[in-house]
Amino acid sequence: MQADFVIVGAGSAGCAMASRLSEAGASVIVIEFGGTDAGPFIQMPAALSYPMNMKRYDWGYWSDPEPHLGGRRLACPRGKVVGGSSSINGMVYVRGHAMDFDHWAEAGADGWSFADVLPYFKRMETWHDGGHGGDPAWRGTDGPLHISRGPRKNPLYEAFVRAGEQAGYEVTDDYNGHKQEGFGPFEQTVWKGRRWSAANAYLHPALKRENCTLVRGLAERIVIEDGRATGVVINRGGRRQTIRATREVVIAASAINSPKLLMLSGIGPAKHLAEHGIDVLADRPGVGQNLQDHLEMYIQMAASQPITLYRHWNLASKAFIGAQWLFTKTGMGASNQFESCGFIRSRAGVPYPDIQYHFLPLAVRYDGKAAAEGHGFQAHTGPMRSPSRGEVTLRSADAAEAPRILFNYMSQEQDWIDFRRCIRLTRELFEQEAMKSFVKHEIQPGNALQTDDELDDAIREHAESAYHPCGTCRMGRADDPGAVVDPQGRVIGVDGLRVADSSIFPRITNGNLNGPSIMVGEKVSDHLLGRDPLARANDTPWIHPAWETSQR
């Protein structure tokens, strides 16, 4: 079993690389522990709460008790299936803000500024505006990843955007185009009524080529000989086997599993590896550090009219929606139901949005439990750039054991200031004229909670992960002691080994991470093939002209 390139992980970035490398004529073996992505739970967009909570498709990780959230352990789902987390996520498509990537470049990820990455976002996309306007010049027209918009038939979607406008915020018809800031239609990786995961976009077509192979097994460690990665040891049902790479090994196993595999292979903080009896091949203190995520809360309102999705929250209706989708790929089942959104700045002096809204015309939790109130709707909101940092560390030297995950959420005073602000700004949105005829009362956190202390207690009790872990194999310059990979994704201190997934993000991007993770796979493919990067773009993104003095 050998190939030019061996990729560990058939997730968002891994699928993109498998496609681009095999398309260029290189032989590729992709190692994936999870099983098939066939079946309605994954492929039907509206069923998104199911795969995320199924042992069959999810690694089932939990954080250690979070000291600043009252010792709660938070769920950290990661896709254990072909397509990785792109097969179990909420299908929301956000590129991130231009200034996110400019920050990456300033932090030492040379060649990853917005001008550098925009051409890769365009290359990967086929964008369908659905007649809602947008910025065609900023978008891709012939990439493998289809991006669409929901039908937005429910009146609450439009009411939410109008409420933002009435509160004095911008309106944008394409937050992935020229202007992110403002309220407008949400985009989803859905095409012809199906979840358009990285597997559907990239891997399944690539596997039709003779030079691309998928191998099922648990990657236990990277084989490193004379300072060079030459293969991967995998466990297939109790039997160990080495998959050899004649050119390079690429780890694309997620912000949780990529650092774990590096540490199991002797690459990481020397003291920590020694504690677990692992020989140190490269002392990289940054491996597993710099863990970031988005934390959010659902601000829920009871509805005064029976127009929410709650009317479908019964077996008969779910059966009808499921059948309609199975036979026609249309109807309610064909959307993730996140069809309106907002990106705003929390205060004057913040140059670009640091709060995101996912709006949903149903009061429900990620695990699919509906609010006891019945008809309701909610906005998921939280700060985008928390200063808190956590870590992923080994529990033992056994590859089959889950790593320790500590996000260290809300560990900085700024986190609390920002989060309270999110809640208060959201309440103000729901008080606007556009929402008045729909709002009955606040369910969560509840109108009785007004003081800082009361809101802090609610955050401690109810904040949830948005499932956007990243940063644990940070990209930086080769002489940066805290960096794990250089700006080409090469692991510093080991030849023939790269990491390419959300773990290399120096700092978390605005919004959902599937888009930027796929972009990383696209860009690192060119580095792996020794190609010149795509020509830089010179499009200038919109920044609020009065950002220094005004919050909106």
**Binding site per annotation, positions for FAD:** 81, 89-92
Calpha distance 239→245 (Å, rounded):
19
Handedness of CA 125, 293, 76, 402 (dihedral sign): positive
Burial class (CB in 10 A: 0-12, 13-18, 19+), 347: middle
Nearest Cα neighbor of 474 from 293, 264, 284 is: 284
Name 219's Cβ contacts closer than 8 Å, sequence gap at least 6. 8, 9, 31, 33, 232, 233, 234, 253, 261, 399
Q: What's the helix, strand, coil split of the chain in %, to 5?
A: 30, 25, 45
Angle at 294 (CA atoms; ends 546, 116), nearest 5 degrees? 65
Calpha distance 246→253 (Å, rounded):
20
Instruction: Tell me the two tokens of residue 36.
Output: 């098939």
Q: Tell me, rounded to whole angstroms, the distance of Cα 397 from its chain centroid.
A: 28
Please check whether residue 30 is in contact with residue 10, taking contact to mean a CB–CB distance below 8 angstroms.
Answer: yes
Calpha distance 533→123 (Å, rounded):
12
| Residue 518: half-sphere exposure toward Cβ, Cα within 13 Å | 39
Active-site position among 97, 468, 527, 544: 468
Instruction: Tell me the two tokens of residue 491.
Output: 């692991």
DSSP 292: B
Nearest Cα neighbor of 196 from 509, 512, 519, 515 is: 515
Beta-strand runs (E) in 255-368: 267-268, 282-283, 295-303, 340-344, 355-360
Interhelix angle for 114-124 vs 514-528, to 10°?
A: 100
Q: Which residues are annotated as a binding site?
A: 81, 89-92
For residue 468, indicate whether it is catalytic: yes
Please give the positions annotated as active site: 468
